[in-house]
Amino acid sequence: MVLQEWDGLVRLAFQRKNKTLAANFKSDAVLTMLEQNYKTFCALNNVMADDSVAFKDQVLAILDATGMSEKRAAKMDIDDFLALLAAFNEKGIHFS
């Protein structure tokens, strides 16, 4: 499962490697996929989905909190990706 998560995040980040991560994550297709994964995770784990904040805002807040919003995938190292994956998983957002 962890490898699938890693693969999903890295593929998403390198989809447009010279764009900032914030730009990659603002894509409607990416947001839709992540929101569906989030809702599935919540349903499977009997967790109440947080609908108090728009999902896009939740994703961008995670990027801001980790300091990764303006980073570009091509300039990131493995530790950056691991920290980002951990931050998303902590909020229940998964990439597989």
pLDDT tens, N- to C-terminus, the chain (96 residues): 678 989 999 999 998 878 999 999 999 999 999 999 999 989 999 988 888 889 999 999 999 999 999 999 999 999 999 999 999 999 889 988
Domain count across the chain: 1
Q: Is residue 96 part of a domain?
A: no
| pLDDT, position 36 | 92
Q: Is residue 95 part of a domain?
A: no
Q: Is residue 38 part of a domain?
A: yes
Domain CATH code at residue 20: 1.10.8.480
| pLDDT, position 1 | 61
| pLDDT, position 49 | 85
Q: Is residue 72 part of a domain?
A: yes
CB atoms within 10 A of CB 95: 20
CB atoms within 10 A of CB 14: 14
Q: Is residue 71 part of a domain?
A: yes
Note down the domain range covering 62.
2-90
Q: Is residue 28 part of a domain?
A: yes
DSSP for the chain, please give it: -HHHHHHHHHHHHHTTTTSBHHHHHT-HHHHHHHHHHHHHHHHHTT-----SS-HHHHHHHHHHHHT-TT-BGGG--HHHHHHHHHHHHHTT----
